[in-house]
Chain A
Amino acid sequence: MTTILEVEQLRTRFRTDNGVVSVVDGVDFSIRAGETLGVVGESGCGKSVTSLSIMRLLPPNGNSGGTIRFNGKNVLELSEKEMQSVRGNEIAMIFQEPMTSLNPLHTVGKQIEEAVILHTGASQQQAKERAIAMLKAVGMPRAEEIYGEFPHQLSGGMRQRVMIAMAMSCDPKLIIADEPTTALDVTIQAQILDLMRDLKEKTGTSIMLITHDLGVVAEMCDRVIVMYAGQVVEETDVETLFENPKHPYTIGLMNSIPDLEDEREYLETIPGSVPLAHQMPKGCRFAPRCSKVMPVCEEKAPELLQLEGHKCRCWLYAEEGEQA
């Protein structure tokens, strides 16, 4: 399989009142054609910033370094104009909040058409047909009517379908979905995930799925990277992740999933929270919260190690792994 996106040593910094802070710090990963890559981690670990860096949609005080190779070209070196022809066309994005991610003053149809006309040069009539076809493809009943409706007339799940229709409308090679189901009811979540999987199988597009929900990962992903405090701490395929998680953070995440067969009275949690970007510990960034912390962890930051079927950033595996 060909690699479609290759991120190397991505560093994204923000100028803030506390000085320059690195929110994403040396992230490496790649996505192959047709693959779904899960990006997992708590709030504030840099998942969304990573995706916005790929789209070059960071707020004005943000700035990325490293390379993001998409289809052979380094996205970070493209001009803004070249980048505009990538966005929505080759890489499309689905956001977390379907309630606020659509323009309240434009009809659903107009918002889908816009990208089609922009990128394919279609006529108004062709774009309209495409928009209605996309609405049907995402399972919208009465697509012709919804074409002329406004976002406030639709439910959250319907709006997210519109977002997906919009993202798929130009046949992108990669879709970045940033927590696409987090804001939805559980039953609707399952529908949206089914829809995304179906569309992926039909079109062969790759998906980068950002989520904090390991259930979503199990259902959707081929491979997973686990992020913590702006770094990749573990990378592996989805079966290995669930059968044999290595990094104490990943293990902590697994233990915090409720299990019906288990007779635990309380859910396990990981104590503490992700360190703030301008107060990173000197050694391992997870050390202050880690149950298996060793003296070396607080002194020296671990490298990402190559283990069998795994990449893992932890001193526990220093003996068996070599630097990735």
Chain B
Amino acid sequence: MMFVVRRLMLTIPILLLVSIMTFSLIHMIPGDPARVILGQEATPEAYQALRTELGLDKPIVEQYFSWLGKVVQGDLGMSITDRVPVSELILQRLPATVELTIGTFIVAILIAFPAGILAAVRRGTWVDYTSTFAALGGMSIPSFWLAMMMIIFFAVENQWLPSSGYVPFSENPAQNLMAMILPCVATGLRESAVLMRMLRSSLLDVVNMDFIRTAKAKGLNEARTILGHALRNAMVPVITTSGLMIAGLLGGLVITESIFSIPGFGRLIVESVFKRDYVTVQGAILVSAILVVLVNLVVDILYAVIDPRIKSGKGAGE
């Protein structure tokens, strides 16, 4: 428990730093932000109004703290182009991306675990070579190409699964899940390759360790040795990779979201950038940074759950 509290305390300075950096974003635009946002033809009244709305007429430190005060209460400002609160926009878009991320991760795990374990246990056999070959293929095939091929096969030629038609889960769970299958598999296949390679090499390190020999010397069969003793010891690098993967997916599913017409978070960021909606960009980046920090927090807590040595401050190499 102490470990979790200590780790939670550590996120506070990180979040503050993130907030300063996102806040500065609007001030890093060359020239006057209000001018850049409105363009050259804007009337002086509109220009002044925007400056006041953005708080640009106040000293910068004061601007930061009043912005931070609002952010803490969930107020990320008004979207410049859509004139709706940014927090509302994000809340509309985030669930689809979170769902897509979870689905992708589940697909990745379902493939990576059996394949990675088999490849490590049957090292140097056709099982190993086949899964290694498939993983290299999975890593080299661009996911947008795979996504389009899957649409052609599953949606156009055979009409087994929809290629678009996302509805929120709360509206129609069945339709929502159907629409999620293809995008999750298309990105999950690629991510599974990364996880599978990581699990395989991590397991290969572990199976040569002395305590695995001890487990076998006790009379355990191969399955119990691998699943009961080796797998958990091989998990730390796999969890690290999974954390990075999830953090990357939460903000980086733009291509998948575009191909399958899912109104997701990644697309919101890209759209806002093109619309020069800096307030929305700022809010979205802040939220995505917080998500990354949270994912890392979960990863660190998982380390401690898996390895009792981490809680007590002793390294895993001890």
State the CA gap A85–B218 with chains docked (Å).
Answer: 9
Supposing A85-B219, A152-B314 touch, asked if A100 and B309 sit within 8 A by C-beta, the answer is: no
> Does A190 belong to the interface (CB within 8 Å)?
no
Q: A102 — which chain B residues lie within 8 A by C-beta?
A: 211, 214
Instruction: State whether B213 touches A118 (Cβ < 8 A).
Output: no
- State the CA gap A84–B314 with chains docked (Å): 34
CB distance from B239 to the nearest CB of A (A): 13
Contact A87–B233 (Cβ < 8 Å): no
Looking at chain B's contact residues, is the secondary structure mostly helix, strand, loop, or mixed? helix
Residues of A contacting B211 with CB < 8 Å? 100-104
Instruction: Return the CB mask of B218-231 against A: 1 if under 8 Å, else 0.
Output: 11110000001100
Assess whether B41 is interfacial by the CB under 8 Å rule: no
In the A-B complex, the 6 residue pairs with the smallest Cβ-Cβ separation, listed nearest first, are A88-B219, A88-B218, A87-B219, A100-B210, A115-B218, A93-B217
Is B91's CB within 8 Å of the partner chain A? no
A28 to chain B, nearest CB (A): 24
Q: Which B-chain residue is minimally distant from A107 (CB atoms)? A: B308
| Cross-chain contact of B210 among A101, A105, A150 (Cβ < 8 A) | A101
> Are A95 and B210 closer than 8 Å at their CB atoms?
yes
Besides A55-B217, A87-B216, A150-B308, 17 new A-B residue pairs in contact (Cβ under 8 A), listed by A number: A84-B220, A86-B219, A88-B217, A88-B219, A89-B219, A93-B214, A95-B217, A97-B210, A102-B211, A103-B214, A104-B233, A114-B228, A115-B219, A119-B219, A150-B309, A152-B309, A166-B218
Chain A residues whose CB sits within 8 angstroms of the CB of B232 once the complex forms: 105
On whether the beta carbons of A101 and B218 are closer than 8 Å, the reply is no
Shortest distance in angstroms between A137's beta carbon and chain B's nearest beta carbon? 18
Question: Does B215 count as interface, using CB distance less than 8 angstroms?
Answer: yes
Q: Is the CB of B314 within 8 A of A118?
A: no
Q: A57-B213, A100-B209, A100-B210 given as contacts; is B306 within 8 A of A105 (CB)?
A: yes
Complex contacts, B218 vs chain A, CB 8 Å: 87-88, 92, 114-115, 118, 166
Distance between A16 CB and nearest chain B CB, rounded to angstroms = 14
Number of interface residues of B (CB under 8 A): 24
- Residue pairs across A and B with Cβ atoms less than 8 A apart, 6 shown, are A84-B221, A88-B219, A100-B209, A102-B214, A105-B306, A166-B218
Quote the shortest CB–CB distance from B207 to chain A (angstroms). 10
Pairwise interchain contact A84-B219, C-beta atoms closer than 8 A: yes
Residues of A contacting B309 in the complex (Cβ-Cβ under 8 angstroms)? 104, 150, 152
Please name all residues of chain A whose beta carbon is closer than 8 Å to the beta carbon of B45 when the two chains form the complex.
Answer: none
Chain A min CB distance to B309 (Å): 5
Task: Find the B residue at minimum CB distance from A91.
Answer: B217
Kindly state the separation between the CA atoms of A89 and B216 in the bound complex, as whole angstroms: 12
Specify which chain A residues have a CB less than 8 angstroms from the CB of B213 in the assembled complex.
57, 95, 101
Judging by beta carbons under 8 Å apart, are B217 and A57 in contact? Answer: yes
In the complex, which residues of chain B have a beta carbon less than 8 angstroms from the beta carbon of A93?
A: 214, 217
Chain A residue with Cβ nearest B233 = A105
